[in-house]
Structure 1
């Protein structure tokens, strides 16, 4: 979230829960077997559980995941477990209270910590996403690994990306995935590389003696583009095949006007068929600094 905030979209421009249910059903009908609900913060939507209940009922959908900042998830943990939604990514860019409050500009450290521990204790598959921000939180990289060594979680360190509402532009980063790995292995030299699925965006490792694993996501270096099979639908219906590119279609009006969903199906197929070769080619679709925030395109 940019420090100055963002302009919130009017409600009538957002896909309703019913419309999101329709889009999800169409995607699953086209062969999508994994859906992740992300944000902003997904639990800001008061009726989110209606969508999640629908997803849990879809035959052919094998994996439902959620990315959350863990501020609002507490009241829903029990039902998520009943629905079989066990894969939770927690966005946590600091383990130190002062760093957390400075980076997030929120006084909710205790709430996040309590919900995180509860998710782990309840047996959810928890992955912690830590974006390494130069000059802000790099001092927490080693401490978060030391704390999480006692828990069966995956701590993934992401490279910073230039999606901040156009308030910052950069061509290189100090903390790329190689620098993060070097920093970690200087402190923990006894580690092993783990085998990951071919479509994984993270390079994963285990440190000897740790219950946790850690991963590196080269989101700025873009080393995983050749195996990327991801499709993103924003809250306003934009179809995005690469975070670095522009939307390839918009489904909102199609969903609202279509009687049988065929127009939506064709729009999705067209977007997938026109995707860029990689993130560097997609970036060429922009003429200046990125003007989108990760809060609007979905972290």
Structure 2
């Protein structure tokens, strides 16, 4: 069992399969994109399967696949199918922007994907283009429809940004009226591949909730699941639910059970912290299994108390989310 120095059981791995993305969301990366990793710098699928199995034996139970955008990497679905069959894996989920995902939804259902986080900051075509710099909203909505038709749990993730999409909060909440989706609003974070474009957080989780209450005063707090990153709410008569993620305020950090592997195999014990171990290099050096397990255990045991502590010691705060693993 993986346990950090604060006594928290670490059982959730977020595994990024690529840093590349087919959108250019301004809060994630510059318009021209990033200096993408070469193939040799990325972990191979075989390496990802190997390290996943090692971590599953050490106590990881849930794996979330992220990017970049996972579906831009060649042969992603065969990898996902093999990953789903690993011994000890209790839950496999993924995060996607939905642009390329719709045709693969039946296969996602077949291999047992538990849930999908769909990044969708607005339902308005013009604002979608302004945020993502791409005119592909219909493809994302097609993915949403396909996921619902196949009975896959859907969580819509919307980053709330001053002057960009605050008028979309209520239309997104309205989706929960007739659809069994969880719409989750996320405080904006400074991971845009450059200097932060805001000096203070204009829309924190308190303000987001107050905005929703203006239209839905009967909204009520529900019990948050263990290790939940969101504060969760229910509107009477709605099939879905609403969540608010205090990603910048970081008020949920105390129960964190997550670690991350970046596309180049760097282990991060906190989103706001630096990498603590290059797992890919250790595997390619031929490190024996027991030594690899020991290195992982020792690095994870030093996990920071919260995001504020991690940020204090970080040298790479403004790294793009696509490079970290969303």
Pick the TM interval, shorter chain: over 0.9
Which shows bigger deviation, 49-58 or 138-147?
49-58
Corresponding position of 1:233? 261
Residue 72 (1) aligns with residue 62 (2): no
Which shows bigger deviation, 259-268 or 157-166?
259-268
Aligned residue-pair number: 298
Asked if the contact 2:158–2:184 (Cα under 8 Å) also holds between the matched residues in 1, the reply is yes
Change (3 A) 1:170 1:97: closer
In the alignment, which of 35, 42, 45 is matched to residue 7 of structure 1? 35
Asked if the contact 1:154–1:213 (Cα under 8 Å) also holds between the matched residues in 2, the reply is yes
Corresponding position of 2:23? none
Deviating 4+ runs (over 6 angstroms)? none
Q: CA deviation at 1:291?
A: 3.3
Q: CA deviation at 1:169?
A: 5.3
Gaps of 5+ in 1: none
Which of structures 1 and 2 has the larger relative contact order (alpha carbons within 8 angstroms, sep 6+)?
Answer: 2
3-state secondary structure, aligned to 1:29? helix
Q: Distance between the aligned counterparts of 1:20 and 1:171, measured in 2?
A: 38
CA offsets, 1:79-111, max 9 Å, x none? 111111131000001111111111111111111
For residues 1-299 of structure 1, what are the structure 2 equivalents within 5 Å? 1-168=29-196, 170=198, 172-258=200-286, 260-286=288-314, 290-299=317-326
TM-score, normalised by the number of residues in structure 2? 0.88
Gaps of 5+ in 2: 1-28
Please provide the CA RMSD for this pair.
1.4
3-state secondary structure, aligned to 1:70? coil
Q: Distance between the aligned counterparts of 1:73 and 1:136, measured in 2?
A: 25
Q: CA deviation at 1:265?
A: 1.6
Q: Distance between the aligned counterparts of 1:59 and 1:89, measured in 2?
A: 24
Asked if the contact 1:254–1:263 (Cα under 8 Å) also holds between the matched residues in 2, the reply is no
Q: Distance between the aligned counterparts of 1:153 and 1:256, measured in 2?
A: 42
TM-score, normalised by the number of residues in structure 1? 0.96
Q: Distance between the aligned counterparts of 2:175 and 2:42, measured in 1?
A: 39
Q: Distance between the aligned counterparts of 1:272 and 1:86, measured in 2?
A: 26
